Structure 1
Amino acid sequence: MRFIADFIGALREAGLPISPAESLDALNAVSLVGLERRETAKTVLALTLVKRQEDRGVFDTLFGLYFAGLKQPNEPNAKQGNDQKPTDETNHPQDAQANSKGAQALSKNAQANSEEVQRSDASFGAQASASSALGQSLSQQEDMGLAITQAASAENLSSIVLFTQKNQFVYKIMQRLGDEELREELKGQNQTQTLEQSTLFSVLEKRRAQLFEQVMDYVEQQYLIFAKQKGLRFRDQHMQQVKLNQLEQADYQRMQRLVQKAARKLAAQHSHRRLTRKRGVLDVRKTIAANAAFDGALFHTRWKATRVERPKIVVICDVSGSVSRVARFLLLFLYSLQDVIPKVRSFVFASQMIEVTELLQQQQIESALETIMQRWGGMSTDYGKALAGFGSQALTKLDKKTTVIMLGDARNNQGDGRTDIWQKVYRQSKRVLWLNPEQRSSWDTGDSIMSEYSPWCSSVEPCRNLKDIEGIFSRILKYS
């Protein structure tokens, strides 16, 4: 059952939602039907573990990889290579074909090995015999698929994460199969051995090499099964903490998916009803009115409700060369929260303040961001001129329901920062957040005037990676 439990773990790593109860159902079902009939076992596992049609391709791919090379004791040799790849491979994702190559490798090698064994079978007499257990198994042409699987399970091969671990696991599995004793036996060859013994040792060396290739193929398959999704998850975790202003262009597309995924998750957490009822605070007036027809008997109670207002957001992003990458992903995250933050006005600036609200609403978000960065990004910064433009365009629209978010490093090239305008923004708004993509130790160094703006902010926080952005908007939604 450990074998099936590891397979269920691989499915979970690949993103299939499998509950503990469903896992127990799968284990019980397999214990009843067994693994001798591969297609039957596959059908039973699919029925108990796959709930969504889009997950069937992933299941088929992993089943073909995981069960390749495992031949049950009562299963004919001729069937070993027939059930190693999924029957509905055409329904797989595009990368399924690449992954299935690993599943087919063991079958091809096993077939080649079998032919080699048959050619060499008549090369030594029955009088010669190996002394090591592995040597006896190889000389008797025993199928090693089940032994390899058991050895891999004992070595916890399912824990493999990095490709550099593959050789380590190959060595451990070979050792558990008895390779050390076999090598000692082969080293002990001497000049006085008989022709049958010499032929036996020659065949054992070939079969040991074939076994080594078989183990390598099996470890490669398990790496494809267990390590691929773990590697992607570890990479995603790393990218959530990498500095956005140091992100490579090649990683933009993946980071965009991570940003949108994090935003959807946050939106789902905060998509509660606008009216949140608080049990325990009775609304006496409404309760009496609701029970007027029952002579005062309180059949229906009415409770006081608190109206939850969705926040009004005004976001101002510095898109100069040093901050533009962070601004791109901040806006992407914000506009991915449209279900819970529908009232957003967006401004970008390097020196001139530009409202881009309509542009972001009318175009696809990725296309709009690209347009913004091409037209206004990468220029030198003038906070004084930009804030003067913001004052004339939006200052009168700010009220005590508005949260203002400024993303910028406050580096003003020795110019006038116009903190008087920022003071008015602070006094007219509900809350003002300043997000700085630099670490705190860099604030107020060089041409940074962060300390001039800080007194007129409700909160000043570093905003350097996706984790920071997610935490900031989580707090905005929680306390709005």
Structure 2
Amino acid sequence: MRFVADFIGALREAGLPVSPAESLDALKAIQLLGLDSRETCKNVLALTLVKRQDDQEIYEELFDLYFTGVEKAKEADQGDSEPSEDLLAAQKDAGNGDDSAANASSALGQALIQKEDMSLAIAQAAVAEKLSTIVLFTQKNHFAYKIMQRLGDEALSAEIHGVTNSPEPKNSPDPKQKKLQRELIKSRARLLDQVKDYVEQQHQIFAQHKGQKYREDFLQQAKLSQLDRLDYKLMQTLVRRAARKLAAQHSRRRLTRKRGQLDVRKTIAANAAFDGALFHTRWKATRVERPKVVAICDVSGSVSRVARFLLLFLYSLQDVMPKVRSFVFASDMVEVTELFKQQEIELALEEIMKRWGGLSTDYAKALSGFQSQALASIDKKTTVIMLGDARNNQGDGRVDIWEQVFRKSKRVLWLNPEQRNSWDSGDSIMSEYLPWCSSAEPCRNLKDIERIFSRILKYS
């Protein structure tokens, strides 16, 4: 059942949610059916291990890799069922003379001469050497060497090279010993090929998705301002995934909160016909307001990269945060709410960065524009999110306008893509805005964005 256990481990590494109960069901099914029928195995394991349609492709890819390895092992066993001519000759000569001269002295050599199936031994050695931890292709030779050593290759190699424990070394091996040596060399080469094939198979199964997972973990914590454009596509996938997860959690929380408190009077009235037995409950409905959000994003310089993913995350929360007005600025304040409605989010972001991104920053001009366009619509149900580094090229920051935003809104969050110890350094005027922020904190990676929006939804 090592096949099924390793297979389940690979599925989990690839992101499939396989529970312990489902693992036991799969093991029991294979114990009953065996591994003889490829299609039967594939269908039965799919029924027990795959719950989402999106996971079917990954399941089929990994199953084919695993089952190919099993079939190769069977073919190798069948192909090697007949002894070679050299071995037959060595065994015949051994039967007519000194048995010890033609018999291998090492345990691995004896197993190879007797044509024992090495598949299970290789798998067990791979488990002992933790082959499932393989990530890099450069590790393949290392693991092949370690597995061969665990199988007993050191003693076999010594035997092949004529190193024995005999107190009287032989200067010229007899013909029988020569034949045995040739057979051991061929058998060892076949075993090494089998081990390398097994390592290659395991690398394809484990390393591909594990490497992807490591890459995803790295990007979730990487500074957004330092991301390469080559990472944008994967990063967009991660942003959407995190937003969907957060939206699902908040949706469940909102359903629970909508129920409200028990309405005792209505519950008693509803159960009057049942002699006081509480068959039906009545609840005081609690209205949960979806938050009104105004997002203002500085798209100048390196801040533009953080703004890209913040806006993508924000618009991926449309199921739980639909009332969103978005503004971007370097110097002029521009509302882009309609642009997001008219175009796909990725296309809209590309246009925004092309038209307004990377220009010189002027907070005074930008906040003056915001005052004329949106200040009147802000009320005590509005959460205002500002993304910016507060670097204003030594100009006036129009803090008076930001004070008005703070006094009119429900709360104001300032997200700064720089570390706190960089605030107020150089041309940063962050301390001037801080008194008029409900909270201000660094926002440097995807984990930060996810944590911040989780809090926004929790207390909305």
* Cα displacement (A) at 1:157: 2.4
CA contact (8 A) 1:382 1:412 kept: yes
Residue 30 (structure 1) aligns with: 30
Measure how far apart 1:66 and its partner are. 2.1
Partner of 1:448: 428
Aligned CA distance change for structure 1 residues 165 and 268 (closer, same or farther; 3 Å): same
The change in CA–CA distance for 1:471 and 1:275 in structure 2 (over 3 A counts) is closer
Compare 377-386 and 164-173 and name the one that shifted more: 164-173
Query: Partners in 2 of 1:162 and 1:276 — Cα distance?
Result: 50
Q: In the aligned structure 1, how far is the partner of 2:245 from the partner of 2:150?
A: 45
For residue 170 of structure 1, what is the amino acid of its counterpart?
Answer: A
Match among 270, 287, 292 for residue 250 of structure 2 = 270
Q: 1:120 to 1:188 in 2, by over 3 A?
A: closer
| Partner secondary structure for residue 306 of structure 1 | coil
Q: Percent identity?
A: 68
Of residues 315, 319, 330, the one that matches 2:295 is 315
Report the CA distance shift for 1:390/1:33 in structure 2 as closer, same or farther (over 3 A).
same
Query: What is the CA-CA distance between 1:293 and the residue it aligns to?
Result: 9.4
Distance 2:450 2:243 in 1: 7
Q: What is the letter of the counterpart of residue 240 of structure 1?
A: Q
How far residue 175 of structure 1 moved from its aligned partner, in angstroms, is 1.7
Say which of 418, 435, 441 aligns to 2:398.
418
Match of 1:130 in 2: 104
Q: Say which of 139, 143, 151 aligns to 2:117.
A: 143
C-alpha distance in structure 2 between counterparts of 1:463 and 1:51, whole Å: 35
Displacement after TM superposition at 1:22 (Å): 1.8
Instruction: Verify the 8 A CA contact 2:306 2:444 in the aligned structure 1.
Output: yes
Q: TM-score, normalised by structure 1?
A: 0.84
Task: Tell whether the 8 Å contact from 2:299 to 2:307 is kept in structure 1 after alignment.
Answer: yes
Provide the residue aligned with 2:239 in structure 1.
259
Deviations 1:356-381 (A, max 9, x none): 00001110000000000000000010
* Greater mean alpha carbon deviation, residues 52-61 or residues 209-218: 52-61
Q: Partner residue of 2:374?
A: 394
- State how many pairs are aligned: 443
Distance in 1, Cα, partners of 2:405 & 2:276: 53
Q: Is the 8 A contact 2:389 2:418 kept in 1?
A: yes
Shift in Å at residue 180 of structure 1? 1.3
Q: Which range moved further: 48-57 or 170-179?
A: 48-57
After superposition, residues 89-128 of structure 1 pair within 5 angstroms as 118=84, 121=87, 124=90, 126=92, 127=94, 128=102
TM-superposed CA distance for 1:192, in Å, is: 1.8
Contact preservation (8 Å) 1:324, 1:377: yes
Aligned-pair CA distance for 1:65? 2.0
Q: CA deviation at 1:278?
A: 3.0
1:324 to 304, 320, 345: 304
Matched, 1:46 2:46: yes
1:47-66 paired onto structure 2 within 5 Å: 47-52=47-52, 55-66=55-66
Structure 2 match to 1:80 = 74
Post-superposition offset of 1:115 = 12
1:467 equivalent in alignment to 2:447: yes
Tell me: CA distance 1:240–1:37, structure 2 relative to 1, closer, same or farther (3 Å).
Answer: same
CA offsets per residue over residues 401-436 of structure 1, 9 Å max, x none? 000000000000000100011111111111000000
Moved more, 392-401 or 126-135: 126-135
CA contact (8 A) 1:166 1:219 kept: yes
Provide the C-alpha distance between the structure 1 equivalents of 2:43 and 2:414, rounded to a whole number of angstroms: 56
Equivalent residues in 2 for 1:154-165, closer than 5 Å: 154-165=128-139
Does structure 1 residue 341 correspond to structure 2 residue 321? yes
Q: Which runs of 5+ in 2 are unaligned?
A: 95-101, 164-169
**Paired position in structure 2 for 1:381:** 361
Whether the 8 Å CA contact 1:274–1:308 is kept in 2: the answer is: no
TM-score normalised by length of structure 2: 0.88
Q: Which piece of structure 1 moves more, 154-163 or 226-235?
A: 154-163
Specify the alignment match of 1:95 in structure 2. Answer: none
The reply to whether residue 478 of structure 1 matches residue 458 of structure 2 is: yes
Residues in 2 aligned to 1:38 and 1:119: alpha-carbon distance in whole angstroms: 34
The equivalent residue for 1:182 is 156
- Cα deviation for residue 394 of structure 1 reads 0.6
Unmatched 5+ residue regions in structure 1?
72-76, 82-106
Alpha-carbon distance, 1:333 to partner: 0.2
CA distance in structure 2 between the partners assigned to 1:349 and 1:158 by the alignment: 49
Q: Where does 1:195-234 land on structure 2 (aligned, <5 Å)?
A: 195-234=175-214
Residue 14 of structure 1 aligns to which amino acid in structure 2?
Answer: A
More divergent stretch after superposition (7-16 vs 434-443): 7-16
Could you give the per-residue CA deviations for residues 78-120 of structure 1, whole angstroms, max 9, x where no partner exists? x934xxxxxxxxxxxxxxxxxxxxxxxxx7xx99x95998475
Question: How far has the Cα of 1:58 moved from its partner?
Answer: 3.0
Q: 1:7 to 1:371 in 2, by over 3 A?
A: same
TM-align CA RMSD: 2.9
SS in 1 for 2:258: strand
Structure-2 separation of matches of 1:196 and 1:188: 13
Tell me, yes or no, if the aligned pair for 1:407 and 1:436 is still in contact at 8 Å: yes
Amino acid at match of 1:439: Q
